[in-house]
């Protein structure tokens, strides 16, 4: 795998607003926020989609959720509630093929998260 723009963020080849990092994961602000708080939590390992997660990645993927909860507590919105979602493939609108959790917070979030375009489809 040749890497995506997220590999460049991990390697500091392009700028990003990083809010958390450890040996295996990184969290940074989404460049096009869809909520007052919109963070992306990624593994440093390159995994293209949910379909490419292997059994041996289970701990790593679970770790991403631990990071989400930690950030929610540390940033003060854990009790208010928030959404964590991972898109997979075309129908979900995945645009960067390096798995990432979207962490959305800071306002009541609509559900289901369909757009008008999707409703007509």
Catalytic residue among 38, 63, 98, 100: 100
Both structure tokens of 93: 């609108």
State the binding string over 58-77 for ligand AMP (x if CB under 6 A, else -). Answer: --------------------
Q: For residue 31, how many other CB atoms are within 10 A of its CB?
A: 11
Cα angle vertex 72, ends 31, 100, to 5°?
Answer: 45
Distance of CA 85 to CAs 2, 14, 16, 64, Å?
Answer: 25, 24, 20, 11
Task: Single out the residue of 50, 61, 65, 87 in contact with ligand AMP (rule: CB under 6 A).
Answer: 87
93, 107, 113, 114: which one binds ligand AMP (CB under 6 A)? 93
Whether 98 sits among the annotated catalytic residues: the reply is no
Q: Tell me which residues touch ligand AMP (CB under 6 A).
A: 5, 16, 30-32, 40, 87, 93-96
């Amino acid at each position: 795998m040749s890497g995506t723009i997220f590999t460049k963020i991990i390697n500091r080849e392009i700028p990003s607003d990083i809010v958390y990092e450890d040996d295996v994961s990184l969290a940074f602000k989404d460049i096009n926020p869809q909520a007052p708080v919109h963070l992306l939590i990624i593994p440093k390992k390159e995994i293209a989609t949910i379909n490419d997660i292997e059994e041996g990645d289970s701990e790593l993927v679970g770790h991403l959720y631990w990071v989400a909860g930690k950030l929610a507590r540390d940033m003060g919105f854990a009790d208010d509630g928030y959404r964590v979602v991972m898109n997979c493939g075309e129908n979900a609108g995945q645009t960067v093929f390096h798995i990432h959790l979207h962490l959305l917070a800071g306002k009541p979030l609509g559900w289901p998260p369909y757009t008008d375009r999707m409703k007509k489809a």
